Amino acid sequence: MSIDPRIIKSLLQLQLTPGVDFKSAASPLRASVGQSSASLFDTLLSQYMSDSALGGEAAAPVMPAEALAQLSSLSGMPNILDGGNHPSPVTSEYDELIMQASSKYNVDASLIQAVIRTESGFRADAVSGAGAKGLMQLMDGTARGLGVTDSFDPEQNIDGGTKYLAMLLRKYDGNVQVALAAYNAGPGRVDRAGIKTNEQLIANHEALPEETQRYVAKVLQAR
């Protein structure tokens, strides 16, 4: 059993929806869309858990089309009935480096680009308050472990950042959202939360910092 990736993406993007009052309910993913007691998040979660109980053999979609349409209608949300991802064209000055790293480490170029856009806004000289540097915001210790000697060098930074992202994707068996959470918060934090799959990330999102939840949603939105 696996939940529709469009739903996972949309649930995470609810974190960024201006019309959702995160403080008025127990879960920051709650949203009122014509429902009295259950949130869309609760509905989605219960439906895919029910599917799991049936051994993943249910033929019906995880959520009916009308409910998906309700989810999509929230202010600022993309229409998740139109096919899911809409990769932005690679148009930065780092196109060639992104494509080289994509080919070298077998990581989708649109994902690399989305991480760069979210991390640094394509600024090679970016430095975070925590000391992360360059396009993919590498910490000094992480950079050294990846063989990066100059985090401000775009070629080294993109190569090292993509290598690290590839390692996380392998660690979490291709679960992109979990790998992104680990890229932001660190794999130790994700592992302590007991999160290994995208479904577990949705179900246990409160175990991670809100910053990390928003980070994952932003990368998915940028992709």
Q: Which residues of 179-192 are buried (b: 16+ CB within 10 A; e: fewer)?
A: bbbbbbbebebbee
Distance CA 142, CA 116 (A): 16
Q: Which of 66, 73, 83, 70 is nearest to 4 (CA)?
A: 83
Strand partners, 133: 127, 138
Catalytic residue among 66, 119, 210, 211: 119
* Contact between 160 and 143 (Cβ < 8 Å): yes
Q: Is 57 annotated as catalytic?
A: no
Catalytic residue positions?
119
